[in-house]
Amino acid sequence: MDIITKTEKIIKDVLAENNYEEENVVLSVSSRPEFGQFQYNGAMGLAKKYKTNPREVAQKIVDELNKYEIFENINIAGPGFINISYSKKYLTEYLTEISKDVSENVKKYPKKKIFLDYGGANVAKALHVGHLRTANIGEALKRLASLVGNEVISDVHLGDIGRQSGMVIYQLREEHPEWVFFDENYEGEYPTEITITNADLERIYPLASTKAKENDEIMEEVRKITAELDKGKKSYVALWNIIKEISIKNIKNMYTKINAKFDLWEGETDSYPYIDEMLEILKNAKCLEESQGALVCDVKLDTDKAEIPPLVVIKTDGTTLYATRELATILSRKQRFNPDEIWYIVDSRQGMYFEQVFRTSYKSNLVDKNMKFEFIGVGTMNGKDGKPFKTRDGGVMKLESLLNEIKEETSKYVQDSNMEESEKKDISDKVAVAALKYADLLPNVEKDYIFDISKFCSLEGKTGPYILYSVVRMKSLLAKSNMSDYKMYDIYSQTEKELITKILEMPIRIDTAFRNKTLSEITEYIYELDSLYNKFYAENRILTEQDESKKQTWLFITNLTYKVNKLLLDTLAIDVPDRM
Ligand code: ARG
């Protein structure tokens, strides 16, 4: 059990022995480290509840806590803040224990099944930075949820049908009218391959989109094609399946580059088999009414401050839309996985839509009330001009070009001329991805933020390269020591003590990150930890230290700090190169 949970449990026991009822015992990081490593601030609340003097309550708690050998120097400050420190003996024991498996230094939750929906790239459209951020955040949240003890399942939920399908098919018909897909009299088997590439798709979609926007007739054609595809027209389905395959291959490639791993590669169309049953459920629950030819679900509540419009479930022309497939997907996930929670990590501008979807699901009993939905809205990544990130020539920034621009900045960190080209490439890839991901995860999830390449690639400050540089240095120090086993003997300096306290703080920070779904809690923590480590590193000459106990202790601390970094960077899905 992690040190924080253990301490909170002790305090809980002590309170119970004194007949104080308290549901929630929280230990926090000390705001005055000179008085203690951690703080318990519950005495004031208890005194109020039991109408006694807070210092008296605090004193009672302290008297009991003093009986435990693991603590040291417990004292009361101000009106009743209890400062707690751990004995050196216990610290040595605990740190030795977690150095074998640092995930022991994490608060665990009762296991739930959490289904995460993130990434959400759209087939046949260029994968842009927005789909990248939801992937980075989703992947990290998934790993975090798993780290604290949950079972997780992830699905990329591709946008594999919609207006873009109609546009691409329209444009292909313009360019290749001779294809059998467009021959209404064709009765044979449709081909399973065509001669276009992903690069063609990247040209075709924007072209068709511009044309359709400028010309109503073309837009109408696109609508017609989209509707026919939705209704299952064989030739279009066959063609669209080929396009999907080409595009998904590219999407997989991109998501692999940023370490986003999905258990399921499903898309909106995978929900088709569930649509009828979903509609049946809504109908039976009297959740579908006709409105101007469409079928909608009224979701407003008396308590609403702003008006929430009804959710359109079936369009006027009888075809499905994003929401239809959303609801059917929910039914599919419920039937196949029966999760306790579904988390959606999606552009924050879809917040209202998801509110409508969640309300419809509960109102119609598509899912029962104890299945929890969570919408995690993600802010946009903007350029220095405050507008969505663009390429140098003003186009939509694609992941690939973004990574290349970052690499131009970070390649200077890989200078070693003795390195093989392949190793250099591997390192520069990892540094670039780390720069991007760390920058993506540092601000609050819902905030728009400005992506400033030179700032996020700097070797100083809160950046991926700074963290990697620090971690690689720990690793190389450990390698150079030529020792594989080190013991902690003592604590020799103030900086060491601060560094150790920072490591003990980890369960609190991860817990906060998980409860509030704030990954910035973790990125900030890693930065604080590594800054302290680098201070410690600068103060000591570890490898040439003559005092064997000191040297071993310092290597022990280095190793532990390294392991904490590895675990947390792995949680954020950031790879660490072997050297830099
Ligand atoms: N494809 C969607 C988009 O680009 C995101 C999908 C999000 N997930 C979902 N279940 N709707 O906006």
pLDDT digits over 497-530, tens only?
999 999 999 999 999 999 999 999 999 999 999 9
Residue-level length of the chain: 580
Write down the pLDDT at residue 448.
Answer: 87
- Mutate which of 157, 163, 264, 353 for ligand 1? The one with the most ligand atoms within 8 Å of its CB, which is 157
List beta partners, residue 398. 128
* Dist. CA 200–CA 281, nearest whole Å: 42
Which is nearest to 333 in space by CA: 155, 202, 193? 155
Write down the pLDDT at residue 394.
Answer: 62
Which is nearest to 519 in space by CA: 145, 194, 113, 191? 145
Write down the pLDDT at residue 398.
Answer: 76
* Helix intervals (H) in 30-128: 43-49, 54-65, 88-100
Residue ID of nearest Cα to ligand 1 atom 5: 120
* End-to-end Cα spacing for the chain: 35
Write down the pLDDT at residue 393.
Answer: 64
Which residues in the chain come in under a pLDDT of 50?
Answer: none
Write down the pLDDT at residue 389.
Answer: 74
Q: Which atom of ligand 1 is nearest to the CA of 354?
A: 11
Write down the pLDDT at residue 314.
Answer: 98
Write down the pLDDT at residue 395.
Answer: 66
Residue ID of nearest Cα to ligand 1 atom 2: 120
* Dist. CA 116–CA 249, nearest whole Å: 21
Which is nearest to 378 in space by CA: 432, 440, 453? 440
Rounded-to-10 torsion of CA 382, 388, 394, 400: 80
CA of 544 to the centre of ligand 1 (A): 56
Q: Which atom of ligand 1 is nearest to the CA of 122?
A: 1
Question: What are phi and psi for residue 561, nearest 5 degrees?
Answer: -60, -40
Is this structure's pTM higher than 0.75?
yes
CA of 344 to the centre of ligand 1 (A): 9
Write down the pLDDT at residue 378.
Answer: 95
Which is nearest to 65 in space by CA: 117, 26, 119, 9? 9
Whole-number mean pLDDT of the chain? 94
Rounded-to-10 torsion of CA 560, 564, 569, 572: 170
- Do residues 344 and 374 touch, judged by C-beta distance below 8 A? yes
Q: Which residues surround ligand 1 with Cβ inside 6 Å?
A: 117, 120, 122, 157, 159, 326, 344, 346-347
CA of 223 to the centre of ligand 1 (A): 20
